[in-house]
A = this chain, B = another copy of it.
Amino acid sequence: MKKVVTMGEIMLRLSTPRYERFIQADSFDVVYGGGEANVAVSLANYGLDSHFVSKLPENPIGDSAVNHLRRFGVNTDYIARGGDRVGIYYLETGASMRPSKVVYDRANSSISEADIKDFDFDEIFKDAEWFHFSGITPALSEKATLLTEEALKAAKKHGVTVSVDLNYRKKLWTPQRAKEVMTNLMKYVDVCIGNEEDAEKVLGFKPGNTDVTTGELELEGYKSIFKQMKETFDFKYVVTTLRESYSASDNGWSALIYDGNEFYHSKKYDVRIVDRVGGGDSFAGGLIYSLISGKDYKDALEFAVAASALKHTIHGDFNLVSVDEVEALAKGDASGRVQR
């Protein structure tokens, strides 16, 4: 099994059941998730030796987060224990024209205050083939910024391929700070994934006049940006998902990849949404698996799009699908006929 490593925060997710609003809820559904953790689970599902690096407090909520990862096959040996709290995000699931709502309560989580010495990066990256992180991790705190760069240095030292999902979070930092930090980190990155909102905020590239709320997509704008990104940072691939948000219940979903020569726009899926959170992470997971498994970048993109289309039909942050299920969809069977 090929060893892959992701690093980031795993949070307690508290979501209202049955499309309830927060102020109606008398119970919350409980899962644990977070950008990189979600990627880690995808990679474990696809049969890779998937390791997640993080820090969680030594209390039963921290234990539960660890168990949630273990349950779905992620190796948790590199999770440090200590610190004060598990970060939380509250999720209200929208419907039709009512958007989903996320309330973050993640300040002072254990990973945001972790020390570099909580981790033995030489051990972590030994024999690893891929390292994935997102723009969320360095945004958590100044310590987390340092930690991320330390991890990236170690990864490069061990010859590990690196991917990033830019994932701008306006509650965590300003575009100024994001640009400062992330521009510096891009030198370690081989594959750069950025969705339509983040590219500008994190790296300062303008995607043209795409108006993401109208459902109109301007591929031409993306192409211009991707070329700039490739030129500036010499990424092997630049990739983005393309979401057309018809409503909170129905989205169009496709992706675009650029290898420096050619742009490839995947098939588009119209998805009826069960749970939209983790869609981008499942895309990253599908892409990494495909590339590490030797697919060419077009097939990889189709696998990643099919994988993440399926994610939208699955409750929770994690994309609980197998390679066979993704392949079946990528090959064209979207009929949803009962499998007996």
Contacts and interface: CB of A to CB of B under 8 A. Distances in A.
Given A338-B277, A339-B101, A272 B95 contact: yes
A167 B27 CA distance: 28
Contacts of A86: 105
Q: How large is the interface on A (under 10, 10 to 19, 20 to 34, 35 or more residues)?
A: 35 or more
B212 A64 contact: no
A70 B312 CA distance: 26
Number of copies of chain A assembled together: 6
A320 B213 contact: no
A71 B68 contact: yes
Contacts of A117: none
Contacts of A14: 14, 28
A122 interface: no
A269 to B, nearest CB: 6
A31 B71 CA distance: 13
B60 A103 contact: yes
Nearest to A72: B67
A313 B213 contact: no
A215 B335 contact: yes
Contacts of A170: 340
Contacts of A212: 335, 337
A338 B101 contact: yes
B96 A335 contact: no
A30 B30 contact: no
B23 A67 contact: yes
Give 6 nearest A-B pairs by CB, closest first: A248-B336, A71-B71, A22-B60, A245-B335, A96-B272, A98-B313
Interface of A: 14, 17-31, 59-61, 63-64, 67-68, 70-73, 84-86, 88, 90, 92, 94-105, 107-108, 169-171, 212-215, 245-250, 269, 271-274, 276-277, 309-310, 312-316, 320-321, 325, 329, 332-340
